[in-house]
């Protein structure tokens, strides 16, 4: 579903990604981990079509990003650590805005559906700036799933959430993944990344330094592997 070949990106003279190769099969949940500054967000932004690579190729759903950006955007749902929501509008108005931006014909039905799915149906007429961080993240996921994308990209979605909110987010993530969607999630949390995903990958010094199926590793082994790599 996502194919990344020899991806490189530099900011000015600073190389951030140096030849990334990564594949995510349809329906797979991949957790991407790595130390700060490793380039995880940069990689995600490139896959999300928000940034262009210097060299290399990215395909989503068989469509090359360079040539089929619009079509790819239809397939993508992105949740970053900023909620991408407008505080002065209600939850419903935010979703209606995005429904129009994505050209959804069955907007009303979809809006109700996603609000139910994230558990915010009762707050639909509340202004988003009154929402807690956890609620904003849930609304952000609602926004991202509005157009029923086949691929979801998450950039450290648990940032700033307390335990309860994080647990609720995990539930939502599992249901999102269960719906057959392909997921690429960036996270700092080793245990959580391992628990939620089908496969883990570690990005270090601009390259994919390690990959493995999540069920082949215990949390302890994974932690050792991670720190061994990062502190080498």
Partner 1 sequence: MQPNRSLRILTISASLLVLLSLYMVFVYAPREVIMGAVQRVFYYHVAAGWVGALAFLVTLIVSILYLATNNVKWDRIAVSSVEIGVVFTSMNIASGSIWARPIWNTWWTWDPRLTTATVMWLLYIAYLMLRQGLEDPERQRRFAAVYGILAFASVPLTFLAIRLWRTIHPVVIGSNDPGAEGQFDMTMRMRTAFFFSLFTFTVLYATLLWHRIRLEGLASRVAIMKARPLHDR
Partner 2 sequence: MPDPTDRQPPTAGFWRAVSAIVWKDLAAELRNKEIVSALFVFSLLVILIFNFALELDKAARENVAAGVLWVTFVFSATLGLNRTFAAEKDRGSLDGLLLAPINRSALYFGKLLSTFVFILIVEIIVIPLFSVLYNISLFSPPLLLVVLLGTLGYAMVGTLLAAMAIHTRAREVMLPILLFPVAVPVVMAAVRASAAILAGAEWGRVAGAFNLVVVYDTIMLAIAIMTFDYLIEE
Instruction: List strands edge to edge, sheet with 29-33.
Output: 76-79, 151-155, 182-186, 29-33, 199-204, 207-213
Stretch near partner 2 under the rule CB under 8 A, chosen from 71-79, 111-119, 167-175, 200-208 = 71-79
- DSSP code per residue over 116-159: HHHT-GGGTTSBGGGS-HHHHHHHHHHHHHTT--SEEEEESTTT
Residue 197, binding choice from partner 1, partner 2, none, Cβ under 5 to 8 Å by partner class: none
| Single residue of 68, 96, 204, 205 touching partner 1 by CB under 8 A | 205
> Residue 181's binding partner, choosing from partner 1, partner 2, none, with beta-carbon cut-off 5 to 8 A by kind?
none
Q: Quote the CA–CA distance of 165 and 172 in Å, as a whole number.
A: 11
232 interacts with partner 1 by CB under 8 A? no
Per CB under 8 A, 27 contacts partner 1: no
Query: Which residues of the shown chain bind partner 1 in the complex (CB under 8 A)?
Result: 11-15, 205
Query: Which residues of the shown chain bind partner 2 in the complex (CB under 8 A)?
Result: 45, 48-52, 70-71, 73-74, 76, 78, 80, 82, 84-89, 93, 97-98, 100-106, 143, 147-150
């Amino acid at each position: 579903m996502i194919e990344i070949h020899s991806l490189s990106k530099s900011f000015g003279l600073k190389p951030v990604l140096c030849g990334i190769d990564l594949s995510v099969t349809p329906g797979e949940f991949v957790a991407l981990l790595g130390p700060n500054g490793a380039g995880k967000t940069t990689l995600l932004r490139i896959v999300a079509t928000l940034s262009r690579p210097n060299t290399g190729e990215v395909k989503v759903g068989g469509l090359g990003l360079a040539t089929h950006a619009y079509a790819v955007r239809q397939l993508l749902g992105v949740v970053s650590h900023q909620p991408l929501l407008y505080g002065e509008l209600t939850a419903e108005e935010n979703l209606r805005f995005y429904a129009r931006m994505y050209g959804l014909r069955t907007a009303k039905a979809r809006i109700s559906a996603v609000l139910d799915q994230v558990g915010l149906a009762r707050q639909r007429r509340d202004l988003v700036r009154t929402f807690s961080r956890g609620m904003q993240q849930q609304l952000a996921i609602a926004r991202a799933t509005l157009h029923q994308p086949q691929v979801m990209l998450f950039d450290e979605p648990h940032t700033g959430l307390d335990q309860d909110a994080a647990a609720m987010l995990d539930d939502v993530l599992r249901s999102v993944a269960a719906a057959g969607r392909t997921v690429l999630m960036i996270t700092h949390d080793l245990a959580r990344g391992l628990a939620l995903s089908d496969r883990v990958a570690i990005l270090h010094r601009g390259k994919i330094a390690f990959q493995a199926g999540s069920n082949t590793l215990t949390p302890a082994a994974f932690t050792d592997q991670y720190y061994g790599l990062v502190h080498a």
